[in-house]
Structures are given as structure tokens and as C-alpha cells.
Chains A and B, each alone.
Chain A
């Protein structure tokens, strides 16, 4: 079983829509959680960390459910510039990061 699993998508949504992605992780010892964004043929960049209590950064909201071992990312008021692949990342020890294969988002005009 993969450490981190994501729906590959693509999610095709119109501008202004709200879209949500989930990610599940297999190891209950996972300690820290992140969403990275990766544009086509570019390197991943940190979008936001995911805190136990949930956290929001502008139009982006991240949630963590330890009991069910999943992480979610909600994007409100989607922009064309949000089109990218969103990578779910979990960390077990300080140097052990496990990346999901990503969920592709296409925001259409």
C-alpha cells in the first residue's frame, strides 16, 4: 500500500468554483502534513502546512483528520492561476517525507 494516496483527477472546474481534494495516508505515526503545488514541468513549492486544528490561508483551507488518516484542501473562488497539480505530503521523521502522486486541477474560464 502506498504511504500517501490521492485522486489523480483531473478536476475540471469553472472560475469561481469551490473545489476540494482529499488525501489519505497509511501510517498513523505520521507527524506533519503539507500541501505542495507543482506547475507543469516545474518544481514543487510549499502551498501550506496542515495543522491539527485546521488552518486557512486566504482562499485555501486545509484540514487534518488523524482518526481517519486523511488531509483535505479546499480552494474557494478558484482562479485560472490555481491550475496546477497539488501534492499531498506527510512527514514521519524529520527527514522522511512521503509525497502523493498529485491531484491535477484545471480551472476553466
Chain B
């Protein structure tokens, strides 16, 4: 993925609004994608995953959309809460590879 240097992209949303976090992935052969949430001082936590044979998957308050045509992944969070404030990473795994490649992350800031 691209490096954005020292400054992460930041998304600020009002509490209660919906959030959409985007990720462009690099490998058209990637077949498995995961969104991770990382709170300050903690390790990344699994949120939701999607495989390349799907274009949408829903979890509790979260939805992941996959557009393979433009190699784009998005994470939608419904009714964003203060506890959703974190850095969100997308990760892709190539069809023949064993290791995930992580994007640089997006910081989500929830405003009261």
C-alpha cells in the first residue's frame, strides 16, 4: 500500500452519524480482505472480513464493500460511537501468498 509518511488520513464524524473509511488495495489477485481496528496503545483487532467472491458483507454495525473492478474496499460504520475512535487498517492477502499486506491506516475521530 501507499505510505502517507508521518500523517495518517483522518476522518472526523459526529457521534451518531455513519462513517465510511476507504482503502485502495494493490494486488488484483488478492482474494481475502480484512479490516482491523487499532485503539491507542493496543494491538490491531479483527473487525470484519470479506472474500473476493463477495461484494458485500455485514456485521454488527459494520459493513464491508468490495469493488474488485477498481480495487477498492470500504468499511461503513453505522451510528458511530465514541468507542469507535481508532485507527482502521485494511489488509489484503494475495491468492497465492501466505502473508497479509496492510494499508497505512485511517484515523477515525468521533466528535461529541
The answer to whether A and B assemble together is no
Residues of A participating in the B interface, judged by any CB pair closer than 8 Å: none
Could you list which residues of chain B lie within 8 angstroms of chain A, going by C-beta atoms?
Answer: none
